[in-house]
Amino acid sequence: MGEEVLLSVNGVELCAETFGERGDAPVLLVGNSMLTWPEELCGLLAGGGRFVLRYDLRDTGRSTTADPAAPGYTLRDLVADAAGMLEAFGLPRAHVAGFGVGGWIAQLLALDHPRRVASLTLAATRPVAPGPNDPDLPEHSAELMAAMMAAPEPDWTDRASVIEAMVAHRRHLAGTAGYDEAAARRHVERIFDRTVVPAGADPAMAHRSNQTAIVFAALDCGDRWRERLGSITAPTLVIHGEDDPFFPIGNGGALAKEIPGAELIGLPGAGQELPPGVWEVVALAILRHTRARA
């Protein structure tokens, strides 16, 4: 595991961590925070000869924090941050993988900065931003939404309350392959403990933003990009849990259909998650996808 560093990118500080040898083919992992991509999975990629870079988006982890209810930046700024991360490490281009909301950033990076993207991997994401969904794309499952609406609001300043609430929430995002509660608990504990609450900020809002990514609900996402997917030139791999209740796999299918030459890999029994049981499968898929283009 590498050492975390704070880097100045586009006028903000972003926290990053690297794995592997600097001279190996670089892979930029984009999620909500760096913890979206488990360090064990990063280690498998590094062991396969990749220089892995993961980082905290703005308002997550140890990166610059604003008001999540009024972030003052746009989705395109987060795309520019991803390009800026490569510049900060002196990397002209990299293989790029995005999970969930990080998949939106990865798609736009491939569209707006094509020379930066050697290959593209899109995991558990969809081709449209928050808001009304396209009628041909499956929405969040009714069962998931009912569970989320019925869940009591935790005390976001109390560690134990937040952890119990988020462990329960992760259970609803899991697929039929099984829910690893111990792993989920360790994950949400680390997210809570890494959250930076700036002086004068609302700690409840900071922890809620880190655990639920509510900042994306308030973010200006700009123009649609789904109609531009056909212009992506980066070789693309789509990885999607077959039981994903948040972004059902039809969303991944649409990405694979509309991006030229894209390959779709379904993860049987997986939900909106990267549980321990899929780390080796996902790592091997990304290593294979990037090998010919390393």
Provide the residue ranges of all domains of the chain, joining segments of one domain with +.
5-139+212-291
Could you tell me the strand order of the sheet in which 117-123 lies?
Answer: 5-9, 12-19, 50-55, 25-30, 94-99, 117-123, 236-241, 263-267
pTM comes to 0.95
Summarised one tens digit per residue, pLDDT across range 213-240 is 777 777 889 999 999 999 999 999 999 9
Residue 197's pLDDT band, with cuts at 50, 70 and 90, is confident
pLDDT the model gives residue 205 = 82
CB of 43 closer than 8 Å to CB of 112: no
pLDDT, residue 133, reads: 85
Question: What pLDDT does 1 receive?
Answer: 58
What pLDDT is recorded for position 286? 98
The pLDDT of residue 292 is: 66
Residue 122 CA to residue 252 CA, distance in Å, equals: 8
Four-residue CA torsion sign, 41, 5, 220, 10: negative
Nearest to 201 by CA among 12, 73, 71: 71
Read off the DSSP letter of residue 224. Answer: -
Q: Report the distance separating Cα 4 and Cα 45, nearest Å.
A: 18
| Strand runs labelled E in the chain | 5-9, 12-19, 25-30, 50-55, 94-99, 117-123, 236-241, 263-267
pLDDT surpasses 70 at 195:
yes
Q: How confident is the model at residue 293 (pLDDT cuts 50, 70, 90)?
A: low
Residue 14's contacts (CB-CB under 8 Å, 6 or more residues apart) are 6, 7, 55, 56, 57, 58, 63, 64, 81, 84, 85
> Considering the chain, what is the average pLDDT of its residues?
93
For the segment 88-114, what is each residue's pLDDT rounded down to a tens digit? 999 999 999 999 999 999 999 999 999
Instruction: Please check the confidence at residue 198 and state whether its pLDDT lies above 80.
Output: no
Residue/partner pairs of 280-286 with CB below 8 Å, 24 or more apart:
280/44, 282/41, 282/123, 282/239, 283/41, 283/44, 283/45, 283/48, 285/121, 285/237, 285/239, 286/27, 286/45, 286/50, 286/95, 286/97, 286/121, 286/237
Please tell me what DSSP assigns to residue 74.
B
More confident residue, 178 or 199: 178
Asked if residue 31 has pLDDT above 60, the reply is yes
Q: Residue for token digits 């948040």?
A: 246
Residue pair 228/101 in contact (Cβ under 8 Å)? The answer is: no
Please tell me the class of the 5-139+212-291 domain.
Answer: alpha beta
Q: Which amino acid, one-letter code, is at 112?
A: D
